[in-house]
A and B are shown apart, each in its own frame.
Chain A
Amino acid sequence: MISVRGLTKRYGENLAVDGLTFTVAPGRVTGFLGPNGAGKSTTLRMLLGLDTPTSGDARIGGTAYRRLAAPAREVGALLDPAAVDPGRTGANHLLWLARAGGIGRARVDDVLGLVGLEEVGGRRIRHYSLGMRQRLGIAAALLGDPGVLLLDEPLNGLDPEGIVWTRRLLKGFAEEGRTVLLSSHLMNEMEATADHVLVIGGGRLVADVGLAELVATGAGTRVEAVSPRADELAALLRREGATVDGGRGGRIAVTGADAARVGDLAARHGIPVHELVPVRARLEDAFMALTRGRGRHEGRTGEPGAADANTRKPQGRGMVR
């Protein structure tokens, strides 16, 4: 259980985190979403006692991190997988961490096996791929078999296999009743990983909702249809009370009517339909709607995660307004 109350961090003029209050419950994967610069990493650093809050507090199981008697047993953290000494072997990196936590040496081999690095534990980290470094970071977080996991962008730079593996691991952890908080700016990744999301923008909490709920509050489910008589179909749908956008190339986007209604209506009037696709509102749409005007780096809000997710969308680019 993580609880954050009125957490504020000011760097000179810049208010990085602004009165953040939330709790993270055990038993589910909680996503910590926000554009770059929204204050996610700063919040995690304050949770770990690395940065001192300007005001407010952050506790883990009711205790400030720096007061935990055996932090490694309570909290596993992955901040930056690149923050290791590349000249060290993976096993040595885990060994010093085990020593610091008063954890037996045998546990090092355990966690190396757990993340699938048992073969390369004796190799220097400089020879590790980015994915292997991520796994090493996760192994380090798991050393003390903690009840709380805090992971900053754990899926960043992972190959699809690594993403699936990490996602499964985190879900398994949550199912064991542990608390899992992972930050990300990759909305599409979070969609498949988290059960619950905290959305922040400009250092403030924008939403604290279940994933399904967030999607539902988003851009709304719509149906895309392609027809050689699209204009006619659009007119009929508008008469039925639906909202219709587009029309170029015979492709229209319909909100306020589901695929069945659109199809039935077309059939009743003998209008041929070549394509009929229900489009679920995506997390990034919902996210964009929520954080619009909240990001500190406005221009970047839509960039790395959302933009790359958008280009993968097969339907109707240039038509969705």
Chain B
Amino acid sequence: MTAVDHRRPTARDTVAAEWTKLAGLPRNRRTAAGAVALALLVAALFCLTFGATTGVPLAEQPVFDVLTAGLLGVDAAALVLAVLAASATGGEYATGMIRTTFTATPSRGRVLAARALVAATASWAVSLVAAVGAALVSLLVLWLSGLPAWDATDPAVWRVVLGASLMGPFYASAAVALADLARSTAGGVAGVAALLVAPTVAGWLPGGPAVVPFLPGEAVHVLAGIAGPGHASPWSALLVLAVWAVALLLLAHGANRRRDT
């Protein structure tokens, strides 16, 4: 029998526990692999049909636009990761395991923060793989079409690849917060969907376009380099996303801090 050491658990232990929960579930590992595969598939689809959908032959497209078209595959991966993050949180409410979680770690704020951190970090790692993979797919399509490749030494290339990879962690942490707020997977997914369509809806409303730059959907587009010129800088877009993520987590924490489970 191993003696149980008498150490006070720390925030680091909570992060380790949340990571063990997330990574220890085979279906989560499969879903993450599936998200990357989906990114590559969607990237290939968008690059191959780019000429047809825009009405401009691929050969006449700026190669940079072929890259950003391929990076739309990362959007698909980010949505899968958001659903995964929502179900990891919402699933605990569905089974009642949340009570075990809160019994093991009575500080609910610490649990929520650890969960969001783990979901964001894991999503970022998966998204980076997906973004680099999608970029390589666009390269492959250009090469197969006998066209010149984009310049891998161009910092703008790396900026959009990195920018595209940030969508996953943002939507994953938002999904954690929203699923916790709604105490359900469906609530988390619906919340993320609302964030996604918000810029479109805002565009229809009087005065709406003014707030669009402050919505996460738009900020994500800026980072992925598909918002076109004349938009906010990537740094302000990053700030918008960070503020949204923190605000949603604080909202969830405020609602759940004293709520009975």
Contact = CB atoms under 8 A, between A and B. Distances in A.
Interface of A: 45, 48-52, 65-73, 77, 79-80, 82-89, 92, 95-97, 99-104, 106-107, 110, 140, 143-145
B9 A101 contact: yes
Nearest to B98: A83
B53 to A, nearest CB: 39
B8 A52 contact: no
A66 B24 CA distance: 27
B2 interface: yes
A143 B1 CA distance: 11
B233 to A, nearest CB: 40
27 contacts: A50-B99, A50-B103, A51-B261, A67-B106, A70-B8, A71-B106, A73-B4, A73-B6, A80-B96, A83-B95, A85-B91, A85-B95, A85-B97, A87-B27, A88-B24, A88-B25, A89-B24, A95-B24, A96-B20, A96-B24, A100-B105, A101-B9, A101-B104, A102-B7, A107-B4, A110-B1, A110-B2
Contacts of A88: 21, 24-25
Contacts, number: 113
Interface string B92-117: 10011101111111110000000000
A45 B103 CA distance: 9
A104 B10 CA distance: 14
A50 B10 CA distance: 20
Nearest to B95: A83
The 8 closest A-B pairs by CB, nearest first: A83-B96, A102-B9, A100-B17, A92-B24, A99-B17, A100-B104, A96-B20, A51-B260
Given A73-B4, A100-B101, A104-B4, 4 more contacts: A80-B99, A82-B96, A97-B17, A102-B7
A96 B118 CA distance: 13
Interface residues of B, number: 38
Contacts of A49: 102-103, 106
A71 B258 contact: no
A107 B4 CA distance: 7
B99 A102 contact: no
A107 B2 CA distance: 6
Contact of B14 (A45, A80, A100, A143): A100
Contacts of B258: 52
A101 to B, nearest CB: 5
A92 B20 contact: yes
Nearest to A48: B103
A95 B20 contact: yes
Contact of A102 (B8, B91, B95, B106): B8
Given A50-B261, A102-B10, A71 B25 contact: no
Nearest to B4: A145
A145 B7 CA distance: 13
Interface centre among A70, A79, A99, A140 (most CB of B within 10 A): A99
B222 to A, nearest CB: 37
A66 B106 contact: yes
A83 B16 contact: no
A32 B19 CA distance: 36
A65 B106 contact: yes
B60 interface: no
Contacts of B8: 69-70, 102
B5 interface: yes
Contacts of B102: 49-50
Contacts of B91: 85
Contacts of A140: 100
A22 B97 CA distance: 28
A67 B5 CA distance: 20
Contacts of B100: 79, 83-84, 97, 140
A84 B24 CA distance: 13
Nearest to A142: B4
B153 to A, nearest CB: 43
Interface centre among B6, B8, B9 (most CB of A within 10 A): B9
Nearest to B21: A96
Contact of A79 (B5, B13, B25, B99): B99
